[in-house]
Homo-oligomer: A and B are copies of this chain.
């Protein structure tokens, strides 16, 4: 089926290479999360926003991750987190060249 988790929040940096360096250890940890298929890391230095698009195997894994990750972001001082869970429409996504 595939559950997509969409998260974004206000973020003032670091961006680009410095963001990569700052969050590589966290990324290696996130890669081990139960039920995670992949995460795409997003950043926008003009809008001062960042976030992530995640694909999970099932709803329970996505919900548990969201709860844990929201608390982690808040512990970093992040406020104004926007999170949405969706099912993926697989046939339409295949028509538009997505590998899901």
- Using a CB–CB cutoff of 8 Å, the interface residues on chain A facing chain B are 4, 6, 8, 16, 19-20, 23-24, 27-28, 30-31, 36-44, 47, 49-51, 53, 84-89, 91-93, 95-100
Q: Are the C-beta atoms of B43 and A89 separated by less than 8 Å?
A: yes
Report how far A15 CA is from B100 CA in the complex, Å: 18
Query: 5 extra interchain contacts, Cβ-Cβ under 8 A, other than A36-B96, A39-B98?
Result: A6-B53, A38-B96, A42-B88, A44-B84, A44-B87
Choice from B6, B38, B42, B89 contacting A89 with Cβ under 8 Å = B42
B residues near A38, Cβ cutoff 8 Å: 93, 96-99
B residues near A23, Cβ cutoff 8 Å: 92
